[in-house]
Structure 1
Amino acid sequence: MVLEDISIIINRGETIGLIGSTGSGKSTFINLIPRFYDTTKGNIFVDGINVKDYKLHELRNKIGIVPQNAVLFIGSIAENIRWGKQNATDEEIIAAAKIAQADEFISKLPEGYNTQVSRGGLNFSGGQKQRLTIARAVVSKPDILMLDDSASALDFATDAALRQAINQISQNMTVLIVSQRVSTIKEADKIIVFDNRHIVGFGTHKELVNNCEVYKEICISQLSSKECSI
């Protein structure tokens, strides 16, 4: 089993951080929600309905996903973002890019949003590709936004600006952020701590620092004692 004895409730509009060592089950947890995998035991409910009872396109239309590996397609930047919402207006595309902190570098390109993306997005840096995939996910204003370690190539200032922008639009959006950085998920409403296939902690940063040894150790390895609030 990749995950065992998992039982958790996430409320609408909450921002939830997910952290834990590599292979602890974080990505599997979020991939179960849109049914990239199905559970072998137990059930997952979205809006009180078992995910297996949704039509697949109906379930996935509720969810915006930014995978670990940023994937771009041949075409213009605007066309890449529009994959998230086929009838998105130019204004919606620009708004999504601003949230993703991508508008700044797009606007400096000679052809702007009409700039062509090469195969695999090789003409963009890792951070730029991540920001474009985030824009693609947020343009549809999904009920659930899932960021699977999708800001790892961003510098800390851009990461902070991204989180602030998402926070401003996420009043009714449930946001799940998988990250190896404590700083990325520290301000989340709640944090889920994974370790060896299990959830070993669930609560705010302060609660977990005081009550979850696994989380405390991660914090100490990344942050100062003051930042950890120890």
Structure 2
Amino acid sequence: MTTLSRRRFLATSGAIPFLGLAMPTVVSAQQSATGQDLSTLHGEYRGTASVTIGYYGTVAETCTTDDWGFELCLPDEFGITHRNTVRKNVSLVISESLRGEATTEDNPFSVAIATLGEHTDTPPATEGDFNFVSALEVLDPELGPPPVLLQYWNLAIDGSAITGELTNRHTNVGAGYNVLWAYDQFVQMDTPHWPVEGTTLEGLADGDSIRLRIDSRSPDQANEYVIELEAERV
């Protein structure tokens, strides 16, 4: 698998330019299933996101003392032990559906969202950072004649209401470009987590601003995520 750095990911999403990386082509006439003209939504939006991460752990346990005075505790119940909320700068790009060599993104539009640093577009990934992309073109001869277009999300729009569901993570082919960062208590550092299929997105977009909420959790059930994003067209 040919991997993309965070900077290259942002480049393919349209958040920042990157010379030398071929951009996927797009479908020309873009309409919703009801014939709605979506071209007024296309462009880049920048704003902030509130990212709340819930950390699971033992919330109740039963402890006993053996004949030698040693205490043994066993968990009775697991749940959210604490939540942490961080604010992030974000870039969101809405564009026409991507078209690869052999397939086309089966969405009314394409979306790419990425957190940005305070002083740079490519921050070191820390707790609360995230990348989401509805589809992406990757280079991998093992997947077929390169480049290959992979679709991650199913998106829909009705008027100004946007909904979506993450339906394929593509982590089985090493192309997991939808990722959230959270603190890992076992290794005691921030690490990437690939959200589960079934992650949902909903919000409103009117061409001048966009508001989105993303609800997700990690596959190992260690974390849950709520992202609330507000951005204005730039």
**TM band (smaller chain):** under 0.3
Higher strand share: 2
TM-score, with structure 1 as normaliser: 0.25
**Relative contact order (C-alpha < 8 Å, sep 6+): which is higher?**
1
Higher helix share: 1
Please tell me whether Structure 1 or Structure 2 has the larger radius of gyration of its CA atoms: 2
